Amino acid sequence: MKSLSFGNRTYIMGILNITPDSFSGDGLLNQTDLLQAARRQALDFIAAGADILDIGGESTRPGAQPVSTEEEMSRVLPVIEMLAALEADVILSVDTYKSEVAEAALRAGADWINDVWALRADPLMAEVAARHHATLILMHNRSKPSNAQLEERLGGRYVGIEYQNLIEDICNELLESVRLAQLAGVPTDRIILDPGIGFGKTVDQNLEILRRLDEFKKLGFPLLLGVSRKSFIGYTLNLPPDQRLEGTLAACVIGIQRGADILRVHDVEAVTRAARMTDAILR
């Protein structure tokens, strides 16, 4: 498995959406030959500079319908098995909040777990990560369907989300998830934090998180940033998901400047180039 040395450069996580309803329009489940399409996209991402591939079988966009454990596994496991067989120099991450899916994915060849509910949806997730010695990404999330607002052209966003102190509240909730992970036996050096841009935050709150991202570095963990094509960019620029590349690049560059270690993105080639240039200037 590829070894990462945080602080030396920015790492790129390419998104493989094994769904029919991704907000970004890149869901692979509608492809005639899913495995071939996933293989082609993965190899393109690796060639373009991806260090990690994040494979997810359930859309987390505002307003998305949940899928069953069985359905999610039927989507992601064949893809993970196929990618693991390639023996490429890339880390495989499973994007799930269900411990049963994570367990099966790790057995199929995944290396990391990307939990968008930071152990709050399934408390058994930490035990699975500890048992398999898997790196665990803990993402902050306050998403509620009642706060989701959908607009046909720009997609979903969250409104009316209140925090007493935005950054402090997110930090405290992430540290509680860290405590749960450590109690289950996950080593500190296998925990990565994600402030959860777009998950239960308004457009302005997302912009503030990005502006103050360096404050999360004080928690002492590597930081993953997921801004790619998200609605806070769309609502800021009044652009649909397929026209958000420049906004994504701007947010990624600011993220690197503020301390992001990993960028989770759809546009791997463009972001890799921007990240390498930013690293050359800053690092």
Q: In the CATH hierarchy, which top-level class contains the domain 11-282?
A: alpha beta
Chain mean pLDDT for the chain: 93
Q: What is the pLDDT of residues 233-268, one digit of tens each?
A: 999 999 999 999 999 999 999 999 999 999 999 999
pLDDT at 24: 53
Say whether pLDDT at 197 is over 80. yes
pLDDT at 218: 95
Tokens encoding 179: 């405590």
Least confident range from 1-5, 169-173, 197-201: namely 1-5
Rounded to two decimals, the pTM is 0.94
What amino acid positions are annotated as catalytic residues? 230, 264
Tell me the C-alpha distance between 137 and 57, whole Å: 17
The larger pLDDT score, comparing residue 34 to residue 70, is at: 70
For the chain, give every domain's residue range: 11-282
Residue by residue, DSSP assigns 250-283 as HHHHHHHHTT-SEEEES-HHHHHHHHHHHHHHH-
Tell me the C-alpha distance between 71 and 262, whole Å: 29
Tell me the C-alpha distance between 229 and 7, whole Å: 25
| pLDDT band for position 149 (cuts 50, 70, 90) | confident
| pLDDT band for position 6 (cuts 50, 70, 90) | very high
pLDDT at 154: 82
| Residues 184-207, mean pLDDT to the nearest whole number | 97
pLDDT at 283: 86
pLDDT at 282: 95
| Residues 200-215, mean pLDDT to the nearest whole number | 97
Say whether pLDDT at 50 is over 90. yes
pLDDT at 160: 79
Q: Which of 158, 107, 166 is nearest to 134 (CA)?
A: 107
